Chain A
Amino acid sequence: AAGVIQSPRHLIKEKRETATLKCYPIPRHDTVYWYQQGPGQDPQFLISFYEKMQSDKGSIPDRFSAQQFSDYHSELNMSSLELGDSALYFCASSLGWTGATGELFFGEGSRLTVL
């Protein structure tokens, strides 16, 4: 079965550079979530989209922006990168609310290293 696809899997950037992460949800899933997991930390919610509209916003820095496109894929744009942005970034998708299906499906993650 098709899963959530994230690219790139690994990314190395210098401080103050820009990075873009992409997420392709499971076909027919209309909701996308982004999470950030720092080293040894639990995943922290960044932002979510439902039907291409932002549905919720968490602890996402102003330097970060995201959007969901007409084909439901999503991109997370990170500018003015800082060392502290080094983390594993997860994308997850669901069909509507998780309360209805009870589950978010996670991608393998994109590991960003900022030097």
Chain B
Amino acid sequence: AQSVTQLGSHVSVSEGALVLLRCNYSSSVPPYLFWYVQYPNQGLQLLLKYTTGATLVKGINGFEAEFKKSETSFHLTKPSAHMSDAAEYFCAVSVQQGGSEKLVFGKGTKLTVNP
């Protein structure tokens, strides 16, 4: 079954430091992978997605992620953290089975940005 695992439920960085949120996937077929961000008391907003093509994917707010098949990873990075990046981040994989499709999410990583 397709799934994603996020390493680290909490990540804390200083403002201006590199942000690295880890996500590994398990899939027997080429995966479609996503990163979503959730600010407190808000819905899920798509940051970026990988479906096919270029393995380095750029998203909104300066985030990017690289699909590495050899490492089964899709880590999310941002060169310089801003206070406004503090939120919960979810990695997700699109699971197709029996003629239907849905997103399966990881457990989430809460990012704290310290001044």
Which residues of A pack against B, CB within 8 Å? 33, 41-45, 48, 50, 55-56, 58, 90, 92, 97-99, 102-109
Q: How many residues of B contact A (CB 8 A)?
A: 25
Contact A33 B51 (CB under 8 A): no
- Residues of B at the A interface (CB closer than 8 Å) are 32, 34, 36, 42-46, 49, 51, 90, 94, 96-108
B44 adjacent to A45 (CB under 8 Å)? no
Provided the pairs A42-B106, A43-B90 are in contact, do residues A98 and B46 lie with their beta carbons within 8 angstroms? Answer: no
> Judging by beta carbons under 8 Å apart, are A42 and B43 in contact?
no
Contacts of B36 in A (CB 8 A): 106
Query: Can you name 18 A-B residue pairings with CB atoms under 8 Å?
Result: A42-B106, A45-B103, A48-B102, A55-B100, A56-B98, A56-B100, A56-B101, A90-B43, A97-B96, A98-B32, A98-B101, A102-B34, A103-B46, A103-B49, A104-B46, A104-B103, A106-B44, A109-B43
